Structure 1
Amino acid sequence: MRFLPHLLKRFVHKGSLTVIGPDGTRTVFGSGEDGPKVVMRLHDDKLDRELFFNPELVAAEAYMDGRLTFEEGSGVYDFLYLFSVNRKGLGSHPVQQALRRSWRALKRWHQSNPLGKAASNAQSHYDHPPEFYRLWLDSQMIYSCAYFPTPDASLEEAQWAKLRHIAAKLKLEPGMRVAEIGSGWGALAIYLAKLGVHVTAINVATEQLAESKKRAEAAGVLDRITFFERDYRELTGQFDRVVSVGMMEHVGVNHFDEYFETIKRLLVPGGFAMIHAIGRMSPPGSTGPFIRKYIFPGGYVPAMSEVFSSLERVGLWTADCEILRLHYYWTIKHWRMNFEKVRPEVVEMMGERFARMWEFYLVAVELGFLHGSNMVYQLLLANERDAVPVIRDFITDGERALTAAEAAG
């Protein structure tokens, strides 16, 4: 190896990484202390150079293609755990610093999501067969951060608690009109419709909408939900509440003002919105190359400074902000463990390369919420300063009332 040792000597401080070259030579990096011991085999001479210049993308692609394999421990999990606890060492290398500067310079181009392109970007991720997601999500197929009353709560319990938490924040009354921007597989729309409101739910993923309608019909609330395949910028009308869960990550920093202006326009006087999305506690950055290319094209996790700067420009009141720090780590850990149990079925349905890609994705994001700067935030937004109750007790009171109602059937 000619190139890779220059990077790995500076990178691996915790744990150890043994690299077996195509010729069988073994080179060990790191002391082996305070981290996992990983053994990685390179099956291609070109990987030495390719990994040196773009390790975050090439490692994933090489694993997907079988050019890079792991021979001991927990494979991808241990490898990415080693990466996550040593990420500062990687970022300090001059070549990696230059690469990150180029990503930041191109972030607005990477995150361009005009009408049409935004739909195709979302469909590339969400329009996999519903049967695939059904294998490893909860029974309601909720594909966003759960809300854990305790760390040891089950995924099912935590996703029900998330629906309850959001509904309590919305402070709904029967007959209200609610717009949901990005409706997933319909779990939140169904839950809210059962509380006596009418939901207008929009999505750009065709498969998700079809599945949502089936679920709403089975739940007996299809008459209270209007599903549209529509971009958020095309939604018209006036609503008492607007809710958006796991959608803002797909907007792109170029379009934050459009997104919040749309919410501002949709609200009736005295109405308010609830936004649930992934953010970062670190300064503005860019989307990593593997996630950008294979998982969420056009996606971006914003710094909170970028979110609040846009809200200032648009002129919306932030009436409440809650930061969920470890909830998504717990959520994705459940997803990853569920996925591991059904991996043979995933391979049969989607193929080995896809299964490896998804495995790499789930592990990477799980550890990003454990050791990285990612978290989830929930905002209550309004045009008027007093549209949202000024004391937060209404949220806890609402959750208790909903819990009691659910227990009573």
Structure 2
Amino acid sequence: MSTTSPDLAPGPVAPWDRLGPPPRSPLRARAAERVFRHAVRGLPVRIALAGGERLGAGGPDAPLMRILDPEAFFHRLGADSKIGFGESYMAGEWDSPHPADLLTPFAERLPSLVPRSLQGLRRWVDAPRPGAERNTTSGSRRNIARHYDLSNDVFAAFLDETMTYSSALFPRTDAELAEGQRHKLDRILDQVGATEGTRLLEVGTGWGSLAIRAAERGAQVTTLTLSAEQKELAEKRICEAGLGDRVDVQLRDYRHAEGSYDAVVSVEMIEAVGSEYWPGYFAALDRLLAPGGRLGLQVITMPHDRMLASRRSHTWIHKYVFPGGEIPSLRAVEDTAREHTGLLGTGRCSFGPDYARTLRIWRETFLLRWNDIAAHGFSERFRRMWEFYLAYSEAGFRAGYLDVWQLGFRKPS
């Protein structure tokens, strides 16, 4: 089994290790510092700057942010706040003993952190998304490879035994992660009626957990992925489960899928599609469903107004984690399905707090297993990058800024 994509091999040429010193612009740095000081003055956090100055409105037990190199920190914020904040953490210019706790108050107040008088300047300071990250057929393959072909060993180190890389849905407060993942899979498979003889299409294979679960129910599964690494390991796991005759793993774009299916399931895949392709994505799912068939989606969402305000921005997440990614709003998903398909909604369920819990477990396991990951050649900067990504995402769900839904649809007979 190949463990690391050649284009992303750990080392000095890896994207995270290319991070250099901050761009220098004293004027922008001073402006960024003023905005930051304004933003944190009412937050229930403690900001400790090197030299002894303290900011924030938090008490002695409030989350702590230590800015170890204020000059570099503010220069990065001045260059591009949406990217510089995370890059500064990667570079070790600021730190926190509990980064998810610290980032949660920021996420709770995200729309109002920047004064309204300055929000109109967004189009002048936000970096545009690179054209190369558009989710064309070839662009989607590149974008997916940059994340999912990173290394199967990295993902295996922090995911549970099911190798499921999406939110769990915990049936009880004391449930283990693997139980929560199986419960999530069963709920969405129940939603589409997957049982003996069901012809089921999965768009977005992951490492095969849903395909395995569906095949165990007796379904005949076709599952699509753009990741060669995922395909290889998913096929191995499917064969080890004795289900090779029930599951066909295809390295194929959803736009090129063929056939007619009783059920279609796609778990946290629409976030990699891009808004300009959402109509085509839903049209493809509609086309692939047989009359009377059912569609189950699991979707990460953000508030509609925030989606509209940020959809053109290039963020730290795009640059380092999910190039080409775009989180929709619930309204955008349901409007697109209504306007571009004949599908009818059959139900919806949100469980954002479960995603926060899932991400916390992943982050804690990632840090606990860091020595195993580092043994594959990954650097300390890579560790800080992933710690920030998982903490940043957890904070979004804890704050309610992000949510996750299971949505059901039916194609009329």
Which category of TM-score, normalised to the shorter sequence, fits these structures?
A: 0.7 to 0.9
Q: Following TM superposition, by how much is the alpha carbon of 1:101 offset from its aligned partner in structure 2, in angstroms? A: 7.6
Q: Show the counterpart of 1:402.
A: none
AA of the residue aligned to 2:189: A
Structure 1 residue 233 corresponds to structure 2 residue 255: yes
Q: Following TM superposition, by how much is the alpha carbon of 1:372 offset from its aligned partner in structure 2, in angstroms? A: 4.1
Q: How many residues align?
A: 376
Q: Show the counterpart of 1:261.
A: 283
Is the alpha carbon distance of 1:55 and 1:106 closer, same or farther for their aligned partners in structure 2, counting shifts above 3 Å?
closer
Secondary structure, in 3 states, of the residue corresponding to 2:137?
Answer: coil
Q: Distance in 2 between matches of 1:121 and 1:89?
A: 31
Q: Show the counterpart of 1:162.
A: 184
Q: Following TM superposition, by how much is the alpha carbon of 1:110 offset from its aligned partner in structure 2, in angstroms? A: 8.3
Q: Distance in 2 between matches of 1:82 and 1:40?
A: 17
Contact kept, 8 Å, 1:91 with 1:97, in 2: the verdict is no
1:200 to 203, 211, 222: 222
1:6-42, CA deviations, whole angstroms, 9 ceiling, x for partnerless residues?
122211112221222xxxx333222323842322111
Q: Show the counterpart of 2:354.
A: 327
Note the residue ranges of structure 2 that are not aligned, 5 or more in a row. Answer: 1-28
2:364 to 337, 340, 345: 337
Q: Distance in 1 between matches of 2:276 and 2:170?
A: 33
Identity %: 31
Contact kept, 8 Å, 2:64 with 2:97, in 1: the verdict is no
Q: Show the counterpart of 1:51.
A: 77
Q: Following TM superposition, by how much is the alpha carbon of 1:167 offset from its aligned partner in structure 2, in angstroms? A: 1.8
- Compute the RMSD of aligned alpha carbons: 2.4
Q: Distance in 2 between matches of 1:366 and 1:31?
A: 22
Contact kept, 8 Å, 1:281 with 1:374, in 2: the verdict is yes
Q: Following TM superposition, by how much is the alpha carbon of 1:48 offset from its aligned partner in structure 2, in angstroms? A: 2.6
Q: Following TM superposition, by how much is the alpha carbon of 1:59 offset from its aligned partner in structure 2, in angstroms? A: 2.2
Q: Distance in 1 between matches of 2:174 and 2:82?
A: 32
Secondary structure, in 3 states, of the residue corresponding to 1:193?
Answer: helix
Q: Following TM superposition, by how much is the alpha carbon of 1:4 offset from its aligned partner in structure 2, in angstroms? A: 4.4
1:53-95, CA deviations, whole angstroms, 9 ceiling, x for partnerless residues?
52331121122233x033xx51534542453355344233655
1:297 to 305, 319, 323: 323
1:91 to 114, 118, 121: 114
Q: Following TM superposition, by how much is the alpha carbon of 1:381 offset from its aligned partner in structure 2, in angstroms? A: 1.6
Contact kept, 8 Å, 1:11 with 1:87, in 2: the verdict is no
1:74 to 75, 97, 104: 97
Q: Show the counterpart of 2:155.
A: 133
Matches within 5 A, 1:359-370: 359-370=387-398
1:265-290, CA deviations, whole angstroms, 9 ceiling, x for partnerless residues?
10111111111111123423336611
Q: Show the counterpart of 2:9.
A: none
Q: Distance in 1 between matches of 2:112 and 2:132?
A: 26
Q: Show the counterpart of 1:377.
A: 405
AA of the residue aligned to 2:150: H
Q: Distance in 1 between matches of 2:284 and 2:337?
A: 12
Q: Following TM superposition, by how much is the alpha carbon of 1:382 offset from its aligned partner in structure 2, in angstroms? A: 2.3
- Under a length normalisation based on structure 1, what TM-score does the superposition of the two structures give? 0.85
Is the alpha carbon distance of 1:334 and 1:200 closer, same or farther for their aligned partners in structure 2, counting shifts above 3 Å?
same
AA of the residue aligned to 2:94: T
Q: Distance in 2 between matches of 1:101 and 1:164?
A: 47
Is the alpha carbon distance of 1:197 and 1:78 closer, same or farther for their aligned partners in structure 2, counting shifts above 3 Å?
closer
Secondary structure, in 3 states, of the residue corresponding to 1:116?
Answer: helix
Is the alpha carbon distance of 1:319 and 1:81 closer, same or farther for their aligned partners in structure 2, counting shifts above 3 Å?
closer
Is the alpha carbon distance of 1:372 and 1:100 closer, same or farther for their aligned partners in structure 2, counting shifts above 3 Å?
farther
AA of the residue aligned to 2:276: N
Secondary structure, in 3 states, of the residue corresponding to 1:312?
Answer: helix
Contact kept, 8 Å, 2:107 with 2:401, in 1: the verdict is no
Q: Distance in 2 between matches of 1:37 and 1:183?
A: 39
Note the residue ranges of structure 1 that are not aligned, 5 or more in a row. Answer: 388-409
Is the alpha carbon distance of 1:371 and 1:304 closer, same or farther for their aligned partners in structure 2, counting shifts above 3 Å?
same
Secondary structure, in 3 states, of the residue corresponding to 1:26?
Answer: coil
Q: Show the counterpart of 2:86.
A: 60
Q: Show the counterpart of 1:400.
A: none
Q: Distance in 1 between matches of 2:248 and 2:275?
A: 29
Contact kept, 8 Å, 1:130 with 1:207, in 2: the verdict is yes
Q: Show the counterpart of 1:310.
A: 336
Q: Distance in 2 between matches of 1:322 and 1:75?
A: 30
Is the alpha carbon distance of 1:181 and 1:11 closer, same or farther for their aligned partners in structure 2, counting shifts above 3 Å?
same
Q: Distance in 2 between matches of 1:378 and 1:246?
A: 10
1:298-340, CA deviations, whole angstroms, 9 ceiling, x for partnerless residues?
1111012211221121132112222223121111111111112
Contact kept, 8 Å, 1:245 with 1:276, in 2: the verdict is yes
Deviates more, 1:2-11 or 1:308-317: 2-11
Q: Distance in 1 between matches of 2:215 and 2:385?
A: 36
1:341-399, CA deviations, whole angstroms, 9 ceiling, x for partnerless residues?
11232233222111111111000000000114211111222221xx6xxxxxxxxxxxx
